[in-house]
Structure 1
């Protein structure tokens, strides 16, 4: 999911077109993957997605509890600490990591504490992930893409213009690589032989060694 075509990603292949572009939603900063979640225009939407996800899993859990006298309440779900945090944290798994399909141990342990079997746990987590992913796509990413399409249309940026720019960029990159590489140097030859040797030892497409360089 981190490879979503944000402005930062688009700049890598189309720098001539997107060089000075900012986030198409807020127009404040350069849009990268992290900005999708920190964009001021997305805060209220993310809060709603989190609340709806909490109610979704609450319903799913109670539907799978067999006893009529034992039910889970919203306060129980809300106590899953970091799981409902909608920001990126390098030290802990958050709601954003869950959208990317990382399952925090706190969630699985909580479901295990309710005496659910593995099949039920997988179903609840899978259904919750599908729900949150679709909510993010439909309420954040797709509207964002629609805004970008409008901006590009207003600037007369067509598919043909993008294709031409990408081809020119690829051609120039290849030309610079060839001109800046000494194919007869000892280091280059040794590195090429090492790559070839590794492919022979560990398997792979030998011809692809040079095609990929």
Structure 2
């Protein structure tokens, strides 16, 4: 007979910052026997049948903790997710294993690459002979240096034979300080910690942690560090984050495990919803500048109706061979808007963009310099950042133009200011910068673009029709019809 599964459903009709009103999700618990749980008014019994309880978050948490405290010796649940991926299989180490060296590696996100994590371990016997080693890249979920260190310990423990007694050497002091913490649910990566605790209990492992100096002359620590670093270059992991967990219950959001302080996670969801509501407010007609805010949002998300975008949306109206209507030298994508060499007495997008980037940079220097006393080298170092390279322009300059702050810009400013001050200073200046681009480049470009569309026989009515519309066939471009540039 199959084990019963109790689904504790947190499903209020509205969302607020109160912990009693939360987004829908499940706490899934497998039981191996008939069990009664107290509710507000009665008891609900699980007799090998799935039962769904609609309840508050505090009650769902209490229910999960009650099961955790009981710590039944039954096997852990098989997660009811179809996309959990393959399990992380580690070699079983011999009983002669007496020590493990573990290390994690974390690479921060850059302008051209996402964050990445990797980990490695070495297994040694009494004579410090290396019995086995392993390294792996990790799924980039809740990426952090600490998470990679905890994962290294977890994967090392999974490879041990039952009843082993080992000493784990690590250069992560924070890992050792958190090892004995009892309130794991309040810690980030608590699912990893619960998995470690389960392995210790179920496999009867006796583990002692010791601190080794980082980047010292310890050859074994240096070797495991090199293994972890090299794992970044390997292919991405073929397993999902859930394959790492050995826990009796699991909270997920959008099919991903919630492996951080639950209250902090829910608060971040609330903040995200507030941000979305503010963005919607920017585009409302009560804002005063609805068109500009719509422009900012579409610029950020690469949704502006450039010719390249229109060629993808309506290829039967806009030939894929057409280039920028203004210069006829390159495809008109979102980046070409700022480097187009088209020249009119009142419009030169390339020179306008360079002028506004320079003004934005100088305004930032003035604003930050007035906030506090800065070293004499600040102006020169700030101006030398790659995001101000408007000549090419650089990739980070193009990202900044769209409203995304490059990592190297914030890292430089964090030497002198907290993030709250950085955002407070840059936000209005970025707004002014994009407002000038909107007025001096985008609106002027639209006037010329609409004139070009008319010259191609593309009318407003033809753009509102789909390709399959009977009356749209007369508007479909002819293979002999080429664009005549406005240049």
TM range (shorter): 0.5 to 0.7
Q: Distance in 2 between matches of 1:154 and 1:106?
A: 45
Is 1:10 the equivalent of 2:282? no
Is 1:111 the equivalent of 2:435? no
- What is aligned with 1:186? none
Residues 308 and 331 in structure 2, CA contact (< 8 A), matched pair in contact too = yes
- Cα distance change on mapping 1:141 and 1:100 into 2, 3 Å: same
User: Deviation at 1:71?
Assistant: 7.0
> 1:56 pairs with 346, 351, 363, which one?
363
Look up the SS of the partner of 1:23 in the other structure.
coil
Q: Distance in 2 between matches of 1:129 and 1:14?
A: 33
Look up the SS of the partner of 2:335 in the other structure.
helix
Alignment deviations for residues 123-160 of structure 1 (CA, whole Å, 9 cap, x no partner): 12222322222222222222111111122234453211
Residues 26 and 39 in structure 1, CA contact (< 8 A), matched pair in contact too = yes
- What is aligned with 1:211? none
Look up the SS of the partner of 2:322 in the other structure.
coil
- What is aligned with 1:145? 446
- What is aligned with 1:163? 464
Residues 335 and 398 in structure 2, CA contact (< 8 A), matched pair in contact too = no
Residues 364 and 429 in structure 2, CA contact (< 8 A), matched pair in contact too = yes
User: Deviation at 1:25?
Assistant: 2.0
User: Deviation at 1:96?
Assistant: 1.0
Look up the SS of the partner of 1:113 in the other structure.
coil
- What is aligned with 1:121? 422
User: Deviation at 1:57?
Assistant: 0.5
Structure number with the bigger relative contact order (C-alpha 8 A, sep ≥ 6) is: 1
Q: Distance in 2 between matches of 1:125 and 1:111?
A: 11
* TM-score (normalised: structure 2): 0.30
- What is aligned with 1:31? 332
- What is aligned with 1:136? 437
Residues 34 and 88 in structure 1, CA contact (< 8 A), matched pair in contact too = no
Structure number with higher strand proportion:
2
Q: Distance in 1 between matches of 2:308 and 2:452?
A: 16
Aligned residue runs from structure 1 range 59-98, under 5 A: 59-65=366-372, 67=373, 74-80=379-385, 82-86=386-390, 87=392, 94-98=396-400
For this pair of structures, how many residues does the alignment match?
Answer: 164
Alignment deviations for residues 41-93 of structure 1 (CA, whole Å, 9 cap, x no partner): 3321221011111121122112322x5x967764343122x11123565xxx5
Residues 24 and 144 in structure 1, CA contact (< 8 A), matched pair in contact too = no
Structure 2 unpaired stretches of 5+: 1-298, 343-348, 474-487
* TM-score (normalised: structure 1): 0.64
Look up the SS of the partner of 2:427 in the other structure.
helix
Structure 1 unpaired stretches of 5+: 173-213
- Cα distance change on mapping 1:74 and 1:166 into 2, 3 Å: farther
Residues 62 and 71 in structure 1, CA contact (< 8 A), matched pair in contact too = no
Residues 88 and 97 in structure 1, CA contact (< 8 A), matched pair in contact too = no
Look up the SS of the partner of 1:150 in the other structure.
helix
User: Deviation at 1:12?
Assistant: 2.2
- What is aligned with 2:353? 46
Structure number with higher helix proportion:
1
Moved more, 56-65 or 37-46: 37-46
